[in-house]
Amino acid sequence: MDEAYDVLIIGAGPGGYVAAIRAAQLGLRTAVVEREHLGGICLNWGCIPTKALLRSAEVFHLAGASAEFGVSRDAPVADIVRMVARSREVSGRLNAGVAFLLKKNKVDVIFGEARLVGAGSVEVAPSAKPPVLPQAPPPKGALGPGRYQARHIIVATGARPRMLKGLEPDGDRIWTYFEAMKPQRLPASLLVVGAGAIGVEFAFFYRALGVKVTLVEALPQILASEDAEIAALARKTFERQGIEILTATTVAALTKEPGALRATLRQADGSTREIEAERVLSAVGVSANVEGLGLEALGVRIEKGVIATDGLGRTSVPGIYAIGDVAGAPMLAHKAEHEGVACVEAIAGVATHALDKSRIPGCVYTSPQIASVGLTEAKAKETGLGLKIGRFPLRANGKAIALGETEGLVKTIFDADSGRLLGAHLFGPEATELIQGFVIAMNLETTEEELMRTIFPHPTLSEVMHESVLDAFGRAIHI
């Protein structure tokens, strides 16, 4: 088999399948190679199924608090098997949706493991990686192993859980997020190593269902990429929820014992303590999938474990591109999607813009939620600009009070001279849905005056965004 394409994409995750659809829309003959599951990690093991699980935890929590809202019912019971089954059903539905969209746009799907073997040439072999999930049957009409030619090849192979020495997962008692998403029963206790977004989301999920959770982070702050004030508020909230949090702490040793795992924790002052946990979740980040693709032999530059690219996905070798996690941070699905669109538009000669990474929102789906865009206060101070900073607490918002969710804060950071919005940070209910308002404002280069004159509906949670802007300039009304 020796097929020729305008664009061939390796990896059908959010970046890959979105790039394929956009390329097809632009009239380019397109194929996408996938070794395991359409939709990639995000749809099958990340963004979507984790949110389904977190929704189950939220419903469980609300059911337990129903008497507060005047609803009487028996105490809820957490059925983890059904929760996991529902999350898999959600992923399966979307997996089928991706297959439909690719077929609709006449994108060829090739199942197998790809390797670049020369200029414009890709060899696809049967996948050597056993699927984490039972392999779904390839879509009708999907192609298989063979050699394929393409004028432009986009690498969108994503990332995998990062491994720490001594914390290598065993699929049983030491978990990555793969195992944490499909337990057959709830453990009595869980040690979560790493307090980034993945770590805190799973810590919240398991604690909400009654598991004793200890969260360990090597850095002094949980959620290191977030504004320090927001992270500190989140930490206090998580601790009130019953999560034990240990920062500036590492796992010095982990011993398997009958019925438990014994972890030796080393703190910043050199002191140690031991704790026992039934399960350990290693959530210390991810590593880009750059191996086994034939990149080095073709001269593609790899820096700090990711493929080096320009703002439009172009690598050091003409005709080879990279998008998404494999092209570096931030390793987020929405970043991958927009990189994919910009990349294929540049290939097609359509006027486009390089991705502005300073305007990519980040979201954490705990309860309360966390969302941010732009500079933290610390980073804003490093610019040397004069700053105006506004804060507004959820406890002063009527809708939040009615919902019974008054924990949280909205923080906005402006350039004092120009009124330019430099950063926005939300901690509270539906923060991940609200952040897009600030992202749009930044993209449109909206000033503080325009934001202050914008009418926000009442009663809504979005009013806290307006009040935070007002507060930055001494004009807050409701506090």
425 in catalytic set: no
pTM over 0.75? The answer is yes
Of 284, 303, 334, the residue that ends a domain is 284
Quick one: 391 and 403 in the same domain? yes
Inter-axis angle of helices 14-25 and 80-104, to 10 degrees?
20
- Nearest 10 degrees: Cα torsion 84, 87, 93, 97: -130
Q: Which two tokens stand for residue 85?
A: 């089954």
Do 54 and 198 sit in the same domain of this protein? no
The backbone torsions φ and ψ at residue 438, rounded to the nearest 5 degrees and listed phi first, read -75, -35
Going by C-beta distance under 8 Å and a sequence separation of 6 or more, which residues neighbour residue 411?
A: 227, 229, 230, 377, 389, 390, 391, 424, 425, 426, 468
- Which pLDDT score, from 0 to 100, does residue 1 have? 45
Say yes or no: 340 and 391 in one domain. no
**The residue type at 404:** G
Check: CB of residue 89 under 8 Å from CB of residue 48: no
Instruction: Extract the annotated binding site.
Output: 51, 194-201, 217, 285, 325, 331-334
> Binding-site residues for NAD(+), please?
194-201, 217, 285
C-beta of residue 234 within 8 angstroms of C-beta of residue 222: yes
Distance CA 342, CA 18 (A): 11
Cβ-based neighbours of 6, under 8 Å, separated by 6 or more: 23, 28, 29, 30, 150, 151, 152, 347
Residue 356 inside a domain? The answer is no
Q: What angle do CA 446, 448, 449 make, to 5 degrees?
A: 95
Note whether 327 and 266 are same-domain residues.
no
Which tokens belong to 125?
Answer: 């072999």
Q: What is the pLDDT of residues 333-360, one digit of tens each?
A: 999 999 999 999 999 999 998 889 999 9
Q: Are residues 406 and 324 in the same domain?
A: no
Question: Which residues have CB under 8 Å from 70's CB, separation 6+?
Answer: none
| CATH (domain of 209) | 3.50.50.60
- Strands 174-175 and 113-118, how do they pair? unpaired
Residue 9 within a domain = yes
Q: Decide if 358 is inside a domain.
A: no
Residue 126: how many other CB atoms lie within 10 Å: 10
Which tokens is 417 given? 């001279």
CA distance 434 to 357: 19
For every residue of 13-35, DSSP letters joined together read SHHHHHHHHHHHHTT--EEEEES
- Residue 379's domain comprises 368-473
Question: Does 478 map to a domain?
Answer: no
* Tokens 């098997």, located at residue: 81
Within this chain, do residues 188 and 294 fall inside the same structural domain, yes or no?
Answer: no
Q: Quick check: is 479 in a domain?
A: no
Do the domain assignments include residue 354?
no
For residues 409 and 317, state if they share a domain. no
Whether residue 120 is found in the same domain as residue 53: yes
155, 28: one domain: yes
CB proximity list for 28: less than 8 A, separation 6 or greater? 5, 6, 7, 344, 347, 348
- Tokens 């320009």, residue located: 310
Task: Tell me which H or E stretch contains 5.
Answer: strand 2-10
φ and ψ at 11, to 5 degrees? 115, 125
Distance of CA 3 to the CA centre of its chain: 35
Collect the ranges in the chain with pLDDT lower than 50. Answer: 1
In terms of Cα–Cα distance, which of 360, 302, 351, 375 is closest to 329? 360
H or E stretch covering 235: helix 228-240
For residue 2, the model assigns a pLDDT of: 54
- Kindly state whether residues 154 and 139 are assigned to the same domain: yes
Distance CA 159, CA 67 (A): 44
**Spatial distance between the Cα atoms of 412 and 421, rounded to a whole number of angstroms:** 7
Q: CB count, 10 Å around CB of 227?
A: 27
Residues in Cβ contact with 168 at an 8 Å cutoff, skipping those fewer than 6 apart? 174
Q: What is the CATH number of the domain that holds 377?
A: 3.30.390.30
Q: Can you give the pLDDT at residue 131?
A: 56
Could you say which of 152, 338, 425, 458 is catalytic? Answer: 458
In the chain, the number of structural domains is 3
- How far apart (Å, rounded) are the C-alpha atoms in residues 308 and 295? 11
DSSP 404-468: T----EEEEEEETTT-BEEEEEEEETTHHHHHHHHHHHHHTT-BHHHHHHSPPPSS-TTHHHHHH
Domain boundary (232, 260, 284) is at: 284
Instruction: State how far the Cα of 294 lies from the Cα of 363, in Å rounded to an integer.
Output: 34
* Residue located via tokens 């949090």: 245
Q: What backbone torsions phi and psi does residue 315 show, to the nearest 5 degrees?
A: -95, -170
